[in-house]
Structure 1
Amino acid sequence: MNPDFQKRLDSVTGYKDSRQKCADEVLENPELFPELVQLCFQTSNKNISKACWVLELVCYEKLEWIQEYLDFFCPNIKNLTDDGALRSISKVCLLLTIFHFKKAAIILSENQLQQITETCFDWLIKDTKVASKCYAIRALHLLGKHYDWVYPELKIILEKDYIHHSAAYKAVGKEILKKINHQK
């Protein structure tokens, strides 16, 4: 582990500029990327959220970098519990599904697709913050084009939970329910 990088990660704040500065450092020094991925899943690490924030921003620019780490990333997403980490990792999962199904720029194995699907459903049924749920809903909509069992399950959850959630959840839920119903 690079102690200098860990110190810089320690100084990251929730402000976009701070997160972006650290992400830019990783983008300029790709040798830091493997360490960043590892730090995202060290649940005892006090900087887990910060590492995930930075990973999300790096993935916006260089999503292909995560391809060789998917065998580590996908089975470990289910172990995250920190809300800040979950929000960023759920966004990375959405990016992965978009780039797998729509752009064919990322190749997810059948096992990786299943791991993302199961974790996204877990985020929906657990007491997860709304942003993570919304990213999970959108990812599951794409995954439902691959797995025929996803839409019926997703529809049940969205219809049942719709009234109990925020305006953001309701907006995404309504949009995805409409898409599911029009695909039949």
Structure 2
Amino acid sequence: MNSMIYQKIEGSTAHVKSRVMVSNFAMKSEENLKELISIAFDISHELHVKAFWSLDLVGEKKLKLLVPYIDEFCEVLPKIKNDSSLRPATRIAMFLTKSNHRKNGINLTKEQEHILIEALIDRLIQDEKVASKAYAMKALFVLGKKYDWIYEELKPILSQDYSNHSAGYKAAARNILKRLK
């Protein structure tokens, strides 16, 4: 018999209301959250994408709940290929890097930071959708405040093939490039 959180994930849709319902339910108990994360991080699971949609909202609302799972997240992030789960996963990476930069935020280890950096750079140079690339840019910009070499890597990546990208990519890249000067 499937658990209640499993049933909620299975019945969820991409609509915000549905994703909010699942994320709120997951945040009510450690067991629910653990199962949501387990499903999200199992990239071969049929509900992996739906689980990541709701996990993204957990990260947005209560990022500190994800702290015990950061190592697992860092392990799975580079392996994600599905565009529908890549967007929320990259967004979670952005939340983590922004929190890491703030006083009283989440403290990532150097190893976690380096794994995120590598995965995020890969997202920028691979043929991914704009939202994932925009979140990767923002996260790398924040990480570049600690590791200045990132900015030197970021400039040519964002400038390269600039004219071949969508308006959304151009706007995000232009914003970051302006801040890098």
**Could you state the TM-score of these two structures normalised by the residue count of structure 2?**
0.95
Query: Residue 134 of structure 1 contacts residue 169 of structure 1 at CA under 8 Å; is this kept in 2?
Result: yes
Count residues with an aligned counterpart: 181
Query: CA shift at 1:75, angstroms?
Result: 1.8
Q: Which residue of 2 aligns with 1:14?
A: 14
User: Which is worse superposed, 80-89 or 160-169?
Assistant: 160-169
CA distance in 2, matches of 1:158, 1:165: 10
- State the alpha-carbon separation in 2 of the partners of residues 71 and 118 from structure 1: 15
Q: 1:157 and 1:30 mapped to 2: Cα distance?
A: 40
Q: Which moved more, 1:137-146 or 1:22-31?
A: 22-31
1:68-83 equivalences in 2 (<5 Å) = 68-83=68-83
For residue 35 of structure 2, what is the amino acid of its counterpart? E
Contact conserved, 1:39 with 1:45, CA < 8 A, in 2?
Answer: yes
CA contact (8 A) 1:75 1:112 kept: no
Match of 1:108 in 2: 108
Tell me what 1:134 maps to.
Answer: 134
Residue of structure 1 equivalent to 2:47: 47
Corresponding residue of 1:56: 56
Note if contact 1:100-1:108 (Cα within 8 Å) is conserved in structure 2.
yes
Question: What corresponds to 2:32 in structure 1?
Answer: 32
Structure 1 stretches of at least 4 aligned residues deviating more than 6 Å after TM superposition:
none
Taking structure 1 as the reference length, the TM-score comes to 0.94
Rounded to whole Å, the distance in 2 between the matches of 1:76 and 1:161 is 28
What are the superposed Cα offsets for residues 12-66 of structure 1, whole Å, 9 maximum, x if unpaired? 1011001111111112223211221121121111111111011011111110011
Contact 1:67/1:107 (CA < 8 Å) preserved in 2? no
2:158 is matched with which residue?
158
> What's the Cα RMSD here?
1.4
Question: Partners in 2 of 1:68 and 1:27 — Cα distance?
Answer: 14
Per the alignment, do residues 104 and 155 of structure 1 end up closer, same or farther by CA in structure 2, a change over 3 Å counting?
farther
Percent sequence identity over matched residues?
38
Structure 1, unpaired ranges of 5+ = none
Structure 2: runs of 5+ lacking an equivalent: none
